[in-house]
Amino acid sequence: MIHQLISLLVSFLQIGLFSIGGGYATIPLIQEQVVDLHGWLSYQEFTDIITISQMTPGPLAVNTSTFVGIRIAGIAGAVIATFGCVISGFLISVCLFRFFQKHRQAQGAMDVLKGLRAASVGLIASAAGTILSIAFEAEPGSGQSFNLIAAGIFAFSLFILRKWKCNPILLMALAGVAGFVLY
């Protein structure tokens, strides 16, 4: 149990420490730790957690760390994983705030921020690609390499969202109902 708690703490400290850009930019980091490195979740479970994390209040990384922690080591695991995810970001934010308050007129500091913004866009694109590839993957044994139903729900949802700017939560609920009915 102690080994699991230490593994959770170290993994989510790394996620919190290197999750520049937050939100979707953290998805590849979380996937590497919880799916690829430790095998705590399957790709499908990971995709489900990301989906649920978007529907629940709070940051994606915090929601995911709490879920993974509770799954691996119960309540203590949830507390340790969430603490690990949050503490490094909190400390970095305090240090960066002080740094940028002191050097707010320096062009070099502004250039660093521009570089971080560009890296965040790349991480978000990577996360989107990962989620789409998992979502559109056909069920094993179906004889298909592409899930047409999932792609259809995605395309229709995207069309509705762009055309009529409807409420995303309502759209997610309707897509969930469509998935339930069609699958």
pLDDT tens column, 52-105? 887 788 888 888 999 999 999 999 999 999 999 999 888 988 998 898 888 878
Q: Which residue has the tokens 């996620």?
A: 15
For residues 63-100, b (16+ Cβ closer than 10 Å) or e, as one string? Answer: bbbbbbbbbbbeebbbbbbbbbbbebbeeeeeeeeeee
Q: Which residue has the tokens 């969430």?
A: 82
What is the C-alpha to C-alpha distance for residues 12 and 178, in angstroms, rounded to an integer? 35
Q: In residues, how long is the chain?
A: 183
Q: Which amino acid is at 91?
A: L
Sequential DSSP letters for 16-54? HHH-TT-GGGGHHHHHIIIIIIS-SS-HHHHHHHHHHHH
Dump pLDDT digits (tens) for 107-150: 888 888 888 888 888 888 887 888 888 888 876 666 677 888 89
Write down the pTM of the prediction. 0.62
